[in-house]
């Protein structure tokens, strides 16, 4: 397959290496020192078991140099979605599928305002990866799962082809009959992990070991789950309890990317996490006081180190 990663960060870079090792033609869209390193030395995945390096089919900062592809792995920060979506239009042909792997639950809808709706799928990623150095993606832990489907969750040849390509590359890409349910199930957990570990400058161990933080965490989850149900998402009745049980099995030192970005003075994706729960709840006629409070606490740091 011809596949483009937009952009080639933790998620896009991980998949670019995996797919490249299986012989797929992967175009990596990147910029700056990261692009220079990929062009000169290839793209490296530093996984727990070994290091792997591939030399992409094309490495560029301009999608016009690539042309139409079979699939676009779309994994940018939420605030960069519109700019990146416009830039990747030259990659999109009649049958191209664009699969978003972003935090939050609004990426697919937002993409359809820029990219033709028939080209846009929906997806969610569960993997711990980051750009640790220019040209190097580091993976923490072996677990990875990429769940994606057409927006209506109906089977299609192009989704099946990409799922098979990932599976052949050693990536978990299970089928789903309800991508909205899966997306929101992750969001119930992520909204709490993101908001609480960032605003509290804390870890999962702090949350599970401090009753007051644990209570806050569960309230955030409950608000997010209530919103999903109000919007018609088929969440399990016991998802709050099951998600809290799961949270207690997470690595003790785990923090969300939001917390790490805050520590390093980088812009925060809060508009699409705590901010989204607050905004969408108000629109749906629901109260979400805990998510609103977390959003307010993080708002002064939204723009990164240059903010007030």
Phi first, then psi: give them for residue 30, nearest 5 degrees. Answer: -150, -175
Percent of the chain with pLDDT over 70: 99
Residue 117 per-residue DSSP state = G
- Asked whether the beta carbons of 151 and 97 are under 8 A apart, the reply is no
User: What is the pLDDT, as a whole number, of residue 140?
Assistant: 86
The string of pLDDT tens digits covering residues 58-111 is 999 999 999 999 999 999 999 999 999 999 999 999 999 999 999 999 999 999
Query: How high is the pLDDT of residue 142?
Result: 87
**Can you tell me the mean pLDDT for 226-235?**
98
Mean pLDDT, residues 223-239 = 97
- Examine the pLDDT at 164 and tell me if it is beyond 80: yes
Task: Report cis status (omega within 30 of 0) of the bond before 7.
Answer: yes
Q: pLDDT digit string (tens) for 91-103? A: 999 999 999 999 9
What's the pTM value of the predicted model, to 2 decimals? 0.94
- Average pLDDT for residues 159-167, to the nearest whole number? 98
Q: Closest Cα partner for 303 from 270, 272, 278?
A: 270
pLDDT confidence band for 305 (50 / 70 / 90): confident
The 10 Å Cβ neighbour count of residue 58 is 17
Q: What is the pLDDT of residues 120-143, one digit of tens each?
A: 999 999 998 999 999 999 998 889
What's the chain's average pLDDT? 96
Q: Is pLDDT above 70 for 55?
A: yes
Q: Classify residue 125 by burial, with Cβ atoms within 10 Å: 0-12, 13-18, 19+.
A: buried
So what's the pLDDT on residue 306? 53
């Amino acid at each position: 397959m011809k596949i483009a990663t937009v952009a080639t960060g933790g998620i896009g870079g991980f998949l670019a290496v995996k797919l490249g090792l299986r012989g797929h033609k992967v175009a990596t869209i990147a910029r700056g020192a990261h692009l220079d390193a990929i062009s000169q030395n290839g793209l490296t995945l530093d996984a727990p078991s070994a290091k792997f390096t591939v030399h992409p089919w094309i490495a560029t900062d301009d999608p016009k140099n690539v042309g139409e592809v079979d699939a676009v792995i779309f994994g940018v920060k939420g605030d960069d979605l519109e700019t990146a979506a416009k830039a990747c239009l030259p990659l999109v042909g009649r049958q191209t599928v664009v699969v978003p792997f972003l935090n939050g639950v609004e990426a697919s809808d937002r993409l359809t305002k820029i990219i033709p709706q028939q080209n846009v799928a929906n997806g969610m990623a569960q993997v711990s990866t980051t750009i640790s150095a220019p040209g190097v993606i580091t993976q923490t832990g072996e677990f990875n799962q990429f769940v994606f489907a057409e927006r209506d969750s109906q089977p299609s040849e192009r989704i099946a082809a990409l799922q098979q390509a990932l599976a052949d590359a050693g990536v978990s890409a299970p089928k789903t009959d309800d991508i909205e349910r899966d997306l929101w199930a992750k969001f119930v957990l992520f909204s709490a992990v993101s908001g609480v570990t960032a605003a509290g400058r804390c870890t999962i161990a702090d949350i599970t070991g401090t009753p007051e933080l644990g209570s806050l965490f569960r309230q955030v989850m409950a608000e997010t789950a209530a919103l999903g149900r109000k919007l018609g998402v088929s969440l399990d009745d016991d998802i709050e309890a099951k998600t809290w049980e799961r949270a207690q099995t997470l690595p003790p030192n785990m923090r969300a990317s939001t917390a790490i970005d805050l520590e390093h003075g980088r812009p925060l994706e809060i508009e699409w996490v705590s901010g989204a729960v607050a905004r969408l709840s108000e629109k749906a006629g629901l109260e979400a006081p805990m998510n609103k409070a977390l959003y307010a606490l993080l708002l002064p740091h939204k723009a990164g180190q240059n903010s007030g």
